[in-house]
């Protein structure tokens, strides 16, 4: 199966876990899937840019048809960012 590319937009600050439900046809399995995650801050138009916030991907774990990603947004107010995933089911 080919790698899958997937992204979603989130807005928060501090440490939170993002639960990403995926369609069953993606075939994500807890013990077999490999996942890469990256985050980029978005400006008011939705374009990526390097702003004042540091965004860290702390943990990634596949679950049956889902992925959990713990993210730390180091900024004193909520920041909008894109969380991008590459998944090898």
Confidence of residue 84 (pLDDT cuts 50, 70, 90): very high
Q: What is the pLDDT of residues 8-24, one digit of tens each?
A: 999 999 999 999 998 88
Euclidean distance between CA atoms 89 and 2, whole angstroms? 8
> pTM of the prediction?
0.91
Q: Residues in the chain, how many? A: 89
pLDDT higher than 90, residue 72: yes
Is the C-alpha dihedral spanning 38, 72, 18, 31 positive or negative?
Answer: positive
């Amino acid at each position: 199966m080919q790698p899958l590319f997937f992204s979603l937009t989130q807005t928060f600050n501090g440490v939170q876990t993002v639960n990403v439900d995926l369609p069953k046809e993606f075939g994500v399995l807890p013990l077999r899937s490999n996942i890469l995650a990256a985050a980029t801050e978005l400006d008011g138009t939705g374009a990526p840019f390097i702003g004042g916030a540091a965004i860290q991907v702390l943990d990634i774990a596949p679950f049956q048809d889902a992925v959990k990603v713990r993210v730390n947004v180091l900024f004193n107010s909520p920041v909008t960012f894109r969380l991008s995933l590459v998944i090898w089911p």
